[in-house]
Each structure stands twice: as C-alpha cells, then as structure tokens.
Structure 1
Amino acid sequence: MEKDKPKSKWSALKKELIQWTLIFVIGAGLYATGYHTEVIGKLQSVILYTGIFQPDTEESIIHGSKADYNMTMIDSTGKRISLSEFQGKTIFINFWATWCPPCIAEMPNIQSLYDEIDNENIVFVMASLDQESQKAWDFVQRKEFSFPVYSVASKPRIYDTSVVPSTYVISPAGDIVMKHQGMAKYNTDEFKDFILRISSQ
C-alpha cells in the first residue's frame, strides 16, 4: 500500500500538468488569433447581463460642461463627417476599440438599445479608437451590429479619457448631461427614460 502512494501522487501531478498545459495552449491559441479579447468580452457580458454595472444618470452629470462638436470622424464608406452634423439632437457617443474586452461586452446591449429607441432626434455615434479603421468595420460587420460606427480622426480634449469604453450623452442644447467610464448596461428602462426625456427638452 505504501508503495502505491508515490505512484498515485505522480499520477495526480501528471494530470494537473496536462490540464495546465491545455489551458496554456488554448490561451496561447486564442491570443495568437486575436480571439482572446472576444472571449474575455463574452465572459464580461455575462456579468453585465446581471445589471450590476449601470450608468448613473444622476451622479455622472457633468455640470456646466458644454459639448465640443469639432470632432472629425470617418464612416465605413470613407466619408469624413463632423459631429456638428448632429448638433441640435441628443447624441449617444460611445468611445470603444476592438482590443477592449469591456467594449465588446457592452456592445450587444447597446445594439438592443439602438433597436428599441425609435426616435429621429436621438443619434448613436459608436466612435472607434482603433488605429486601423478597417478592423472596427470588419468586427462590426462580422458581429452583425447595425448601429452607426465611425473612426475617430480628431477628438476634442473634453472627450479625452484614460478609460475605454467611455460614453457621453449630449443634449439638444449642447450640454454633456452624462459621462460614464467603463462598461455598463444601457438597455434598461431607467436609461431609456433618461435619454428620451433629454431628447424631448
């Protein structure tokens, strides 16, 4: 009996080494193909689904801050447009990137919000910070998201943040009425009521 103990101990160690090797190989494979971001994002979206992370539409208001419409963007056709084209409307701006798991995590619920908000006075601007614009457009097409996606060519200082994703809501009067840093669940009754209320002011 005593002779079997070292053998069973080695067998358990061997099994554990195989498990860790498999985890490493899978992780390395995902990293090499670039899919690790999406996998992490998918896991984070499960957490997001619980509703733990929600934008605080009362506490996140930037009092007295005016929007800067001098932001140049490029759409998927290569056309350069300015944020000023949407002046006078409620603007939901989300700064994101394909390399950012929390960005990917919140995208399905932003898509749901976009689908449910049928209001011509509310504009969605999904502003990609990817250095290669095509990456963003390829990603969105592959995921079959239909919200408008733009590549940011120049960004005013007021939208500078070290946190990605970051989301802003601009009122028709040009006030920044919400800023949220980090991922959040936007497709909630509370947020829909908030953005519809802003658009009717």
Structure 2
Amino acid sequence: MNISKKQRNNIIFLVIIALILIPQTRQPIQIVLHKGLALFSPSIEDESELKNITNYNWKLKDINGIAYNFNQSEGKVVLVNFWATWCPPCIAEMPSMQELYNDYSDKVDFVFISDEGQDVLKSFLSKKNYSFNVYIPSETPQIKLFEVRSIPRTFLLNKKGKIIIDKSGAANWNSETVRDKIDALLLE
C-alpha cells in the first residue's frame, strides 16, 4: 500500500495534534517550543518610558517560611520574576535564569515569586538542581506595577527603582544584552 505525500502529511499532523492533546506529552512539547522562543534577549525599556517603583513595602516568605520584606531590595539592582512550576514558558527560561543567578547572586537581588505551595516549589527546585530562593507572597503586592496578569513576567530594576526591563513571556536572561545591562547598572 502506497501512502501519498498528502496522506503522510495528514498522518504526521494528526499525530502532532494527538501528542499536544494528551496531558502527559503536552507540557514537554510546549516547553520545547518555548525554549525556541527563549533564545531571544528581552529588550531594554526606552529611557523616556521608564516606570519607577516608589513603594518597596511588600511582605513575602521564602520556601522555608522565613519572612522577607521587599524593602530590603531598595537601593539595589533587582531582578523580579513571577513564575510557576506548571508554566511551560517559565520552565523554558529557568536554565538561563539559573546561569545568570550563578554569576550575579552576590551583586543582584533575585526575587523569584510563585504562589504555589512550599512543597511543590521545593520539589521542583530540587528536581531541576536550581539553587535560587523562591518567595511566596504573604499579601497582595503593594507595588501597583507588579500586578501581574500572565507569567512568566520579569522586571529588572536599577538602584533607583526604575524598571529597565519589563518582559512578559520566556526570554534568554543569560544573554550578553542582559549581562551588559546589569554590569552597567551595578556601576551606577
């Protein structure tokens, strides 16, 4: 039995659709697709359009239950990332976040935020060998600019609280563009 090129293409298309519909294969496929999108660096905000954080008062707790107030980051270069363990674009960009964290954790405040349970977050971090800390909001953000409606969403703040990068969706956070910008912000 000979299968025509059109029939073969239809079969391949149906197999792909089936794999996307099956819950066990959907997330890995989405992660691979988002990793392709995460090859690009986030763009730097236009200097004339920079928004400013004026109120740093926001209570969080880390995955071990230790309280943290975001006001501890005031006056520092800060990377704030909203994410979840079930989010394919979040998972896709995490390796680049870990690489950036490895090199800048002693100079930049990394504030990874998820509203998932401590056990879920600990398990995910352990399974993926991520060493950064994750915070869970103890209250609604007091910072209006952090009212996030989709994840991942990441902000890079300078020492004066200006948002230098505001990125929704997966990105390559370990890019030369981001590293150069962070290096410049640290010198300010």
> Contact 2:45/2:166 (CA < 8 Å) preserved in 1?
no
1:164 equivalent to 2:151? Answer yes
- Secondary structure at the residue paired with 2:127? helix
Partners of 2:71 and 2:174 in 1: CA distance: 26
- Backbone CA RMSD of aligned residues: 2.9
Give per-residue Cα distances to partners, 1:57-92, cap 9 Å, x unaligned.
143875242243122211121112111122221110
Larger Rg: 1
| TM-score for both structures, normalised by structure 2 | 0.80
Partners of 2:28 and 2:54 in 1: CA distance: 32
1:42 maps to what in 2?
32
- Secondary structure at the residue paired with 1:178? strand
1:142 maps to what in 2?
127
Q: 1:71 aligns with which of 58, 61, 76?
A: 58
> Contact 1:61/1:178 (CA < 8 Å) preserved in 2?
no
> Contact 1:45/1:105 (CA < 8 Å) preserved in 2?
yes
Kindly, what percent of the aligned residue pairs are identical?
Answer: 26
- Secondary structure at the residue paired with 2:38? helix
1:123 maps to what in 2?
109
Partners of 1:61 and 1:40 in 2: CA distance: 36
How far the C-alpha of 1:183 sits from its partner, in A, is 1.4
Partners of 2:122 and 2:48 in 1: CA distance: 31
1:187 maps to what in 2?
174
Residue ranges of structure 2 left out of the alignment (5+ in a row): none
How far the C-alpha of 1:129 sits from its partner, in A, is 3.1
Structure 1 residue identity aligned to 2:185: I
Number of residue pairs aligned between Structure 1 and Structure 2: 182
How far the C-alpha of 1:36 sits from its partner, in A, is 3.7
Q: Closer, same or farther in 2 for the Cα pair 1:61/1:148, shift >3 Å?
A: farther
- Secondary structure at the residue paired with 1:125? strand
| TM-score for both structures, normalised by structure 1 | 0.75
Give per-residue Cα distances to partners, 1:110-160, cap 9 Å, x unaligned.
111112336x33111111133x33222211111111122112222232201
Q: Closer, same or farther in 2 for the Cα pair 1:61/1:159, shift >3 Å?
A: farther
Residue ranges of structure 1 left out of the alignment (5+ in a row): 1-6
How far the C-alpha of 1:108 sits from its partner, in A, is 0.6
Partners of 1:89 and 1:163 in 2: CA distance: 25
